[in-house]
Structure formats: C-alpha cells, structure tokens
Chains A and B, each alone.
Chain A
C-alpha cells in the first residue's frame, strides 16, 4: 500500500512537471510576427547588408509558412478522411440493421428514361393536360419497349390507311356507313375477311388480309413484343391483347364508338346495336359472343359483373389507364419488378377505380415488397423468427397488412383466379385449334 502511494505521488509529480512545462513551449503553428515597416525615427536608407539579410529572412519565413500550410492541409484532409470513414462505418452498421421498405430500382435512370417518358404522356392524358388518344397511348407503350425507336408517323399512317381503305371499300360497295353500328359492322367484316380497295390518296389497289390469331407464345412470355399492335400490323397476326386494341384504334380513326372490355386473362370489344344493346365482339376468333358464353368460358361470377370489372364497356379514359398496366408489363419484362411499377400504376385508382388490373399489378408489387421485407427481417433481425414476431416491427406489419388488404379488395370485387382444371381444359382447346390450323 505504502509503495503504491509512493508510486502514485511520483507519478503525479511527473504529470505535474509535464503540465507545468506545457505552456512554456512555443506553439509551432503560430508564425512569428516580424515587424516589416521601416523605422520612423531615422530616415537613413537601410544598408545593403541589412537588406540582404531581411530578404533572406523573409524568404525563409515564406518557405516556413508554406510548409506549415501544407502541413495544416494534410492534417485537415486526414481528419476529413477519418470523419468520412466513420460515417461510412456507421452507415454500414446501420444498413446491417436497417430494413429497406422499397424495392429500389433495378436499372439505371438512362435505361428506363423511355419508360418514364411514356408514363408522363399517359399521365398527362389522364390528368387532362393532353388530349385523350388511345392511339398515342398505345404507341407510347410500345415505343418505350423499343427504346424510342419506332416511327410514330408511320404507325399513324398504317392505322389511317386501314380506316380510309375501309371507307373506300364501303363506298364502292354502297354499304350503309353512317351509324356507329354500321361502322362497327363494317369493321368486324374487315377484321374477319379482309378487304381489297383503291387507296383514296395513293390511288393504289391495296389488300388487307384478315387478321389471324398467333398461337405461338400468345401471352408474350418469351417475347413481349407479341402483345403489341405494331407486331400485329407488321405480321398480320396477334393475340387477345393486340387484336381488340387494333380494332379500337381503327374505330377511333373512323370516329365511331366501341369499347374495350375484360374477362379474366382476356380482353375483347363491345359496341352497341341500334337498340342500344351491348354486343360482344371476340376479336381473336372473330365472332359475336353472347354474354352467357363470355360468363361461362371466362368463369365469371355475378359479383364481378356487379362491380363492373368484367364484361363492362370501358370508357376511353379507362382504356388509357389500362395502357399504364400494359406499360408496367413491358417494364417488368425488360427490367424486372421494382419501385417504378408501383409508381406507374399509382394514377389508376384515381382515374379508373374499377380497373382490376391496376389493383392486381399493385398487389403483385406489394407481394414482392413483402417478400423482400420478410427476407431482410429473417437475415438482419435476431428477434424475428416467424410471422408472430411481427408485432415488434410495426412498419413491416403494415407492409404485410397493406398487401393483404389489397388482396381482400380484389376478392371483394369478384376477381377469382380461374380454377386450374378449367384453365387446362381451355389450353387444350387452344392446342386442338392450333393443330387444326397446322393441318
């Protein structure tokens, strides 16, 4: 004990002497101030020797100051580096703990620029700052997928050509072509049989061959361009997405009323007869279908009709809102599921509240988001083992609840997936039809 106190006293003395010496040391960082002004008491010029010495002294001082500045700078740089490293370290530690409640972006802003441009066009149409045009909307969607390389004038021309050839055809045949029903009937005839007529501008005899259903990859899973009207115009064959759309684009050019309508995984055309009754035109195999056939083959329940999600003619605004869903499909095929998709479908509920596909896309996004959140929870949080532990993570719980709520909305609206056996039967029918066409 005694030895220890002695040691302590000695230690304190050393410390004391250290402290005592500290203030006496000159601060190396403060440069010494040298009086520069000449003395006012004597007006004699300074001797050359003195001048030389002063000059040397000044130069030495400047060098010294420069070294000091460099030193200072190096210290500051080092401190800044240390600060940054600390921030980075803290961020990394935080990221290890942090749960990301978004999916981020899968592609660079340059790569997705065309998509954002198309979104701006569609959104402007829905907001009313641009005129509603289904043709422009469809073009924007397809052009975005093709990286803004499609020729809009050529696209417009090919739609206008079909319309003007049809006009020339009915004029020559002296068919009635004034009411909406007559115009639609002529258009159905064109889609089904094709026409040959003299082009009113080029005066060339032109043939439009009947449009066919493309049995290869009819859902565009391998090649997304299979969904496109531009593909239908180029090859003459399309699917249940492009064929009704082409019909509607030509109807728009003819300034006649026709509407898009949905069945599960399917779209078709509706127009009114002269008594105002809505008719169904199945553009893929080109016949007029009864409501009951639509209901039966599409496995549609009464609730879906009551809520207007299936078998209900869409307004032009709703059709344009649906183009936003098409836009996300192309985006997803190209880049995968990310936050852009949620952003793209966000205007749909406001402008087309009964559009089921917007809800479905959002539900898919929220499912992907929840899967990501749950994966992060399992990886990063030790106190998360199963769904029961969600109570500790209110924000994650909200992500799951939001997803479940949307699925509930979908169920309430009457959307129900087609039962597997029914779907298989339908696929078989298509397969048979496909074989029949090959024979």
Chain B
C-alpha cells in the first residue's frame, strides 16, 4: 500500500481513543419506555419538520434509546468529525487520478471516505510519527444482530471497528453528510448499501461490507432481487430524507422489541405505522407490522382454542385483523419484497468479494 502522508494531526490515536468511548458514566440510566419515547419524539419532530433533518441525531437517538440514554452525543459527533477530517486530508493527499469532470472535488471526497473506511490509512503527525487508521471490517460472527442487537449499531462499529450491512453504510452516509457529499442509502433483500452519482459514471453503487462497487445487474441477479421490486422502488432505489428517517423509526421499533420482547407491542406498532405513513412502500415495515399482528393472532388462536389459524377468519371479531395481516403480506410480496436465508446472504457477500478479486487479476 502506498504510504499516505497526512500532516497536521496531533496525536491522532489519542483523539480517536478519546472519542470512541461513547458511554457517559455520569448519566443515570432511564427507564426503557421513557428512553424510547424520547427518541420517538425526536424522530417525529424531524419528520414533521419541527426540527431540521439530521441523520447524525436520528441515528444517535435510536442507539441512545437502547443504551437507556447514557451515550454521549458529544463524543459521537467528535468521532464522526474526526473521520470526516481524515477523509478530507486523505482526499487532498491522494486525489482521484484521471478524473476531469465538474464534480471532481465531490468524487475525490467520496473516494476518500470509502478508502478511509475500508482500508488502512497511514498518517504522520507533527512529531513525524506514523500512525495507522485501521479499516472498518465486516463482522461475520453476527451478521444480523441476532446474538446481540448492539452489533447492528454505529457506536459498536466505531468502537470495535467491525460492523454489518446496517452500520457500515450508515457510517458512510454519516461521514458523507459531515462533508456535504451527496450519498443515498439503498435497500436490497436483508441488505443496505450506498448509491451515489457522478458525472462520469452516472449512478454507481458502493458496497461497504465487501469494499466493492457492484453494478446493478449483478446486484439484482445475485441478490435475489425481483424486477418488480426494482420497478416498484422497493429495492435498489435511493432513500430520501424522510425515507431515511422512516428507516430509523423501524430501527427504533426493532430495538424496542429486542429490549422488551414480552411487552405488548403498542410502541412498536406506533413506530411502524408512522414509518409507513411517510414511506408507504416500505416493504420491510409492512412485513414487520404483519409479524407483530400475527403474534396477536397466535394469542387469539390459543384463546379460542382452534387448531388451524385460518379458522380465525370465520370469527367476526377477529376477521378484520386477520385480513389486514393477510393484506400486508400480500402487498409486500406483490411489491417484490423477499427475504433471504442467512447462508444465502453470507455466501452472497463473499461472492461479491471474490468477484472483485477475480476482476483485479490480470
């Protein structure tokens, strides 16, 4: 790797270490309900435009709620600012070669963010000491946060330098927003990646999990994406600000469900309904909502003592609930929503990496 020289950073490692300790021990933990309600209110304020849009605040609100409002926002923004600074310096030291379009500066920065996040960056401080900023890697241990929900968090990614397809693209977008570089989140089955546009290449995809730039046809063919899902903008479409906030709302709902699995689902449904109000074709939210409601159906099944859940359709009091669940699943399916198994998914990520390596061979 080419040694990158970045002057003017004072003891980078110290700065990084200071910022990366997110839990503020001086804060008293709050009760789950109030912690989540606070985050919910903040997201609503952004969605209703009472508060300006800020993905940094939204993501922090979601993760802070899970940590019972004990995280330090100051340190969170510090570490993002540090990454932004590093990317800016990187762009200055290693500009993209042979790119002569009007958006050169922007492409330079986007390339720098990508490099800083996915590759080792070496830098030299004022005392001529060389430091290494290590890449953020993919955590194959717990790809979907099943063992520990925190594994999907940006704070976990920043602390342990390993994340998943949720935290990695979010971090990229957060750093991009710090630098005013347009970048959009885009969805695929059980997956999220970054879409950007440059004058020379048009729309292109940035995949942080495997550090590649896959093309659309490859994503759709190997990622089990139905053409209808593309047509209906369920997958492979850029998410607007409101959609991104709706995504955060769903994360919040999922966090709450993880925290209080036995609890009644009122808060979760509230989040999902609001997310669907702002992002009507958000198939994942539809399916999650249907999942929550079908739990209710299962409870009713036990209550009525029927063997077959379809028998509930005959009960006049349950019928509306039953059909609404059915409609949600059907709608999501028709839009092209699909779920992939974990084995398929991990294989897919590895294929992507291999494809990249094969392309690099002479």
Tell whether, in the assembled complex, residue A296 and residue B221 are in contact, meaning their CB atoms are under 8 Å apart: yes
Bound-state Cα–Cα, A411 to B201, Å: 11
Q: How large is the interface on B (under 10, 10 to 19, 20 to 34, 35 or more residues)?
A: 10 to 19
Bound-state Cα–Cα, A267 to B235, Å: 25
Tell whether, in the assembled complex, residue A292 and residue B217 are in contact, meaning their CB atoms are under 8 Å apart: yes
* Residue in contact with B227 in the complex, picked from A291, A303, A411, A414, CB distance below 8 Å: A291
Tell whether, in the assembled complex, residue B216 and residue A301 are in contact, meaning their CB atoms are under 8 Å apart: yes
B223-251 contacts to A (CB < 8 Å): 227, 230-231, 233, 235-237
Tell whether, in the assembled complex, residue B221 and residue A306 are in contact, meaning their CB atoms are under 8 Å apart: no
Closest to A417 in B: B202
A-chain residues with CB within 8 Å of residue B218 when the two chains form the complex: 296
Tell whether, in the assembled complex, residue A302 and residue B237 are in contact, meaning their CB atoms are under 8 Å apart: yes
A-chain residues with CB within 8 Å of residue B237 when the two chains form the complex: 302, 306
Tell whether, in the assembled complex, residue B231 and residue A300 are in contact, meaning their CB atoms are under 8 Å apart: no
* Residue in contact with B216 in the complex, picked from A295, A308, A312, CB distance below 8 Å: A295
Bound-state Cα–Cα, A296 to B236, Å: 15
Given contacts A291-B227, A292-B221, A296-B221, contact A302 B216 (CB under 8 A): yes
User: What per-residue 1/0 map shows which CB atoms of A300-327 lie under 8 Å from chain B?
Assistant: 1111011010011000000000000000
Given contacts A301-B202, A301-B203, contact A306 B233 (CB under 8 A): yes
Bound-state Cα–Cα, A312 to B202, Å: 21
Residue A299, interface by CB 8 Å: yes
Given contacts A295-B216, A295-B217, A296-B218, contact A302 B230 (CB under 8 A): yes
Bound-state Cα–Cα, A299 to B202, Å: 12
Residue A255, interface by CB 8 Å: no
Bound-state Cα–Cα, A295 to B222, Å: 12
A-chain residues with CB within 8 Å of residue B217 when the two chains form the complex: 292, 295-296, 299-300
Residue B38, interface by CB 8 Å: no
Residue B220, interface by CB 8 Å: yes
Bound-state Cα–Cα, A302 to B217, Å: 8
Tell whether, in the assembled complex, residue B202 and residue A305 are in contact, meaning their CB atoms are under 8 Å apart: no
A-chain residues with CB within 8 Å of residue B233 when the two chains form the complex: 306
Given contacts A295-B220, A296-B217, A299-B217, contact A305 B203 (CB under 8 A): no
Tell whether, in the assembled complex, residue B227 and residue A305 are in contact, meaning their CB atoms are under 8 Å apart: yes
Bound-state Cα–Cα, A306 to B217, Å: 14
Bound-state Cα–Cα, A291 to B218, Å: 12
Whole-angstrom distance from the CB of B315 to the nearest CB of chain A?
A: 32
Bound-state Cα–Cα, A299 to B230, Å: 15
Whole-angstrom distance from the CB of A408 to the nearest CB of chain B?
A: 11
Whole-angstrom distance from the CB of A64 to the nearest CB of chain B?
A: 83
A-chain residues with CB within 8 Å of residue B220 when the two chains form the complex: 291-292, 295, 302
User: What per-residue 1/0 map shows which CB atoms of B104-147 lie under 8 Å from chain A?
Assistant: 00000000000000000000000000000000000000000000
Closest to B231 in A: A305
Bound-state Cα–Cα, A437 to B18, Å: 70
A-chain residues with CB within 8 Å of residue B230 when the two chains form the complex: 302, 305-306
Tell whether, in the assembled complex, residue A302 and residue B236 are in contact, meaning their CB atoms are under 8 Å apart: yes
Residue A416, interface by CB 8 Å: yes
Bound-state Cα–Cα, A300 to B202, Å: 12
Whole-angstrom distance from the CB of A99 to the nearest CB of chain B?
A: 27
B-chain residues with CB within 8 Å of residue A414 when the two chains form the complex: 203
Bound-state Cα–Cα, A4 to B232, Å: 99
B-chain residues with CB within 8 Å of residue A303 when the two chains form the complex: 203
Whole-angstrom distance from the CB of B166 to the nearest CB of chain A?
A: 21
* Residue in contact with A311 in the complex, picked from B203, B227, B236, CB distance below 8 Å: B227
Bound-state Cα–Cα, A312 to B230, Å: 12
Whole-angstrom distance from the CB of A388 to the nearest CB of chain B?
A: 15
B-chain residues with CB within 8 Å of residue A305 when the two chains form the complex: 227, 230-231
Whole-angstrom distance from the CB of A297 to the nearest CB of chain B?
A: 8
Tell whether, in the assembled complex, residue A411 and residue B202 are in contact, meaning their CB atoms are under 8 Å apart: yes
Closest to A292 in B: B221
Whole-angstrom distance from the CB of A263 to the nearest CB of chain B?
A: 11
Whole-angstrom distance from the CB of A293 to the nearest CB of chain B?
A: 8
Bound-state Cα–Cα, A306 to B233, Å: 7
B-chain residues with CB within 8 Å of residue A411 when the two chains form the complex: 202
User: What per-residue 1/0 map shows which CB atoms of B202-216 lie under 8 Å from chain A?
Assistant: 110000000000011
Bound-state Cα–Cα, A169 to B230, Å: 40
A74-102 contacts to B (CB < 8 Å): none
User: What per-residue 1/0 map shows which CB atoms of B295-329 lie under 8 Å from chain A?
Assistant: 00000000000000000000000000000000000
Closest to A304 in B: B216
Closest to B235 in A: A302
Closest to A297 in B: B217
- Extra inter-chain contacts (15) besides given A295-B227, A300-B217, CB under 8 Å: A292-B217, A295-B217, A295-B220, A295-B221, A296-B218, A296-B221, A299-B215, A301-B216, A302-B230, A302-B236, A302-B237, A305-B227, A305-B230, A306-B233, A312-B231
Sampled A-B contacts (22; CB under 8 Å):
A291-B227, A292-B217, A295-B216, A295-B227, A296-B217, A296-B218, A296-B221, A299-B215, A300-B216, A300-B217, A301-B202, A301-B215, A302-B203, A302-B230, A302-B235, A305-B227, A305-B230, A306-B231, A306-B233, A308-B231, A414-B203, A416-B202
B residues neighboring A (CB under 8 Å) = 202-203, 215-218, 220-221, 227, 230-231, 233, 235-237
Closest 7 CB pairs of A and B: A292-B221, A296-B217, A302-B236, A295-B217, A291-B227, A416-B202, A305-B230
